[in-house]
Amino acid sequence: MRAVSKIIGCCLSIVVSSLAWSSSSASQAEKPTHVEGTDIVRLDPSLDAVIAPGTQIERVATGFHFTEGPMWREGHLWFSDLVGNKMLTVSPDGTVRVLIDHSGGLDNPPPGSYMGSNAMVTTPDGAVLMIQQGGRRIVRLDSSFKMAPFLDSFDGKKLNSPNDLVYAPDGSLWFTDPPYGLLGQDKDSAKELPFNGVFRYSHGKLTAPIRDLARPNGIGFSADGKTLYISNSGPEMFVMKYHVAPDGTVSGSTKVITYPGSAPDVPDGLKLDSAGNLWTSGPGGFRIISPAGKLLGQIKLPETAANMAWGDGGRTAYFTATSSIYRLKVATPGKMPLYQR
């Protein structure tokens, strides 16, 4: 715990100095605009009710290393540059601000490594939980952006490197824990857990309901909380759904979509909309899949699709994709997070 506090303490001064929201910390490289290489592929007529015909995808901002972990908060998209080791925001007009430098918990991660911050959620009391992939933990940012440890171990062993997280409708916190924050991944000598799990935190207790996925990554819930969706990024690539009981135990796993193992990109982040459609990233962009399992359409981007978040009260889908942030107006609103600011 002392080592964790030492690292977080050194980052705190950076957080406070960079959260002044001054004009010197803001930049606007371009106005949101349509760019070549984006496309909406309509595979079923019912997609028209989800995305109106004629809708275009806009690029909102670009010039990053690897964008991830988006969250809509206070009228802005908050996101991480996982390789650039920063946490940032972008406004609807494309203005970008750096909120936290060295956001992954390490001052000097190896160049090109995935050790920055990742996913974020708003808590019931309005604070923010942020994943530090380099620090292999989840930290809490309060309203003054003071940083404190939240979760970093299970059964006395350090977490691998939490990746994505979500509050279930019952208020429990779920997160995935693949080994991407370890240079050697499963073979890294610093890895302590014998599995790459999906965890549930409720009433002060951390459990691991799922332990048999090789690379659990994106995570999301149906509106009633009875269905959990998890993307698995390899070596076999798919999105799985599970039935979730009121006590948090899972059963009845079923594959929703499977990707060929030779695909250059991997299944990553996912979200659901208010009609129960699953939006999931993977090779070739985002797929939109109905609750019945029908593939409705595909969102193509000119770079690797990573994750997404709903903004503007669910009326806009924001996508993180390697160096850029994209957005798309939707006809079927997205399912907003349980807690919002």
Structure-derived torsion over alpha carbons of residues 76, 80, 81, 83, reported in degrees to the nearest 10: 180
- Specify the fold of 2-329: Neuraminidase (2.120.10)
pTM of the predicted model over 0.85: yes
Sequential pLDDT tens for the chain (341 residues): 323 333 333 333 333 333 333 333 566 557 899 999 999 999 999 999 999 999 999 999 999 999 999 999 999 999 999 999 999 999 999 999 999 999 999 988 999 899 999 999 999 999 999 999 999 999 999 877 788 999 999 999 999 999 999 999 999 999 999 999 999 999 999 999 999 999 999 999 999 999 999 999 999 999 999 999 999 999 999 999 999 999 999 999 999 999 987 777 999 999 999 999 999 999 999 999 999 999 999 999 999 999 999 999 999 999 999 999 999 999 999 999 999 99
pLDDT at site 146? 82
Of 141, 166, 135, nearest to 153 by C-alpha is 135
Contacts of 262 (CB under 8 A, 6+ apart): none
pLDDT at site 136? 98
pLDDT at site 323? 97
Decide if 330 contacts 273 (C-beta within 8 A).
Answer: yes
d(CA 339, CA 179): 28
d(CA 213, CA 236): 10
Task: Please give the C-alpha separations between residue 291 and each of 222, 255, 256, 328, in angstroms, as whole numbers.
Answer: 9, 13, 10, 21
Residue 48 DSSP symbol: G
Return the domain boundaries, the chain. 2-329
Tokens standing for residue 249: 């135990």
